[in-house]
């Protein structure tokens, strides 16, 4: 009986997993003890009571009402909403740009195919931070002032104050971050889409054409749905990257959650607590995107009979 347990593969698998969990717990306990000891030596008590204190700083751009007399927790909430605003709009726009560029990369038209190739190579091979600085300083700040704004089609105004649309205005900081993230991430998505389309067997193209379908319908009804099962897993990674890259907003002065958190720990000295809050926030956002995309991925998989 004893010998049979030592030779059981399932026993060793479970035992190794328990050992790994135990070692991970030991590392966490050691790091936590080291953190508390260092904070005591610096005379900084650990705690989140500072979140109830008055923030005493202004936030330049908010979707909800905010005053400097509000608490730090409310200021962080305002920053989170600003981050979500960029991330959601960015995911929507970069999907359109990426799919369009990916299909254009396979176009029979020489000019369209090469324009798409230049776009992909330029945007995915230059650092995102440099692109954001380019959009901000070389594009938006070079536009005329508000009184001399550029009018497009009579209802879009472009000036140093950003984009003016009939229903709302977009600040230059928000516009810069949104455009930078959209075109940078779209370049990677374009290659993912191109690879996904090329993974569909040629026989599927030929069968669709033999039914008399036009090229647009072949792509929309036959090829692209099959390519989705290859596209979605790496596409999820790009959505996660876009969401995390919103933290670069601090480089151009857009008040996202990282920007607000930086001001918070500069004023309170609670760097550890604030960093933990930021990590928890981005972890929650990333896990939410992963769950949604995994559910979508499961829904588009081919069901074998």
Domain check: are 17 and 71 in the same one?
A: no
Domain check: are 119 and 176 in the same one?
A: yes
- Would you state the structure tokens that stand for residue 205, as one six-digit string? 């193209």
- Would you state the structure tokens that stand for residue 228, as one six-digit string? 């989705």
Domain that holds residue 286: 49-300
Instruction: Confirm whether 198 is domain-assigned.
Output: yes
- Would you state the structure tokens that stand for residue 212, as one six-digit string? 């008399």
Instruction: Confirm whether 305 is domain-assigned.
Output: no
Number of domains in the chain: 2
**CATH label of the domain that carries residue 58:** 1.10.3720.10
Instruction: Confirm whether 206 is domain-assigned.
Output: yes
3-state secondary structure of 47: coil
3-state secondary structure of 172: helix
Note the helical H segments in 43-109.
72-104
Domain check: are 23 and 78 in the same one?
A: no
- Would you state the structure tokens that stand for residue 269, as one six-digit string? 């000295």
Domain check: are 89 and 195 in the same one?
A: yes
pLDDT by residue for the chain (305 residues), tens only, comes to 556 777 788 888 899 999 999 999 999 999 999 988 888 888 888 888 889 999 989 998 888 999 999 999 999 999 999 999 999 999 999 999 999 999 999 988 999 999 999 999 999 999 999 999 999 999 888 888 877 778 877 778 888 888 888 777 889 999 999 999 999 999 999 999 999 999 988 888 888 888 888 888 888 888 888 899 899 999 999 999 999 999 999 999 999 999 999 999 899 888 889 999 999 999 999 999 999 999 988 887 766 55
Domain check: are 107 and 11 in the same one?
A: no
Q: Which of 30, 46, 62 is the last residue of a domain?
A: 46
């Amino acid at each position: 009986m004893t010998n049979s347990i030592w030779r059981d593969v399932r026993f060793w698998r479970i035992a190794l997993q328990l050992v790994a969990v135990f070692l991970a717990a030991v590392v966490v306990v050691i790091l936590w003890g080291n953190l508390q000891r260092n904070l005591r030596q610096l005379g900084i008590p650990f705690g989140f009571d500072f979140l109830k204190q008055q923030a005493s700083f202004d936030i330049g751009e908010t979707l909800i009402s905010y005053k400097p007399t509000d608490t730090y927790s409310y200021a962080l909430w305002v920053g989170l909403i600003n981050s979500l605003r960029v991330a959601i709009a960015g995911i929507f726009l970069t999907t359109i740009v990426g799919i369009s560029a990916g299909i254009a990369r396979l176009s029979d038209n020489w000019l369209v195919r090469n324009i798409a190739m230049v776009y992909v190579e330029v945007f995915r091979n230059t650092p995102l931070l440099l692109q954001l600085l380019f959009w901000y300083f070389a594009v938006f700040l070079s536009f005329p002032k508000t009184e001399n704004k550029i009018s497009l089609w009579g209802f879009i105004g472009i000036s140093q104050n950003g984009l003016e649309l009939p229903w709302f205005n977009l600040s230059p900081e928000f516009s810069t971050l949104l455009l930078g993230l959209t075109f940078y991430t779209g370049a990677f998505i374009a290659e993912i889409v191109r690879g996904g389309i090329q993974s569909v067997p040629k026989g599927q193209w030929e069968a669709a054409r033999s039914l008399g379908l036009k090229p647009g319908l072949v792509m929309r009804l036959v090829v692209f749905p099959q390519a989705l099962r290859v596209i979605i897993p790496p596409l999820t990674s790009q959505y996660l990257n876009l969401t995390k890259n919103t933290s670069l907003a601090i480089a151009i002065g857009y008040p996202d959650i990282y920007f607000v958190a930086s001001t918070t720990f500069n004023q309170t000295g609670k760097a550890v607590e604030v960093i933990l809050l930021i990590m928890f926030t981005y972890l929650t956002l990333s896990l939410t995107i992963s769950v949604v995309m995994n559910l979508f991925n499961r829904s588009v998989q081919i069901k074998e009979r």
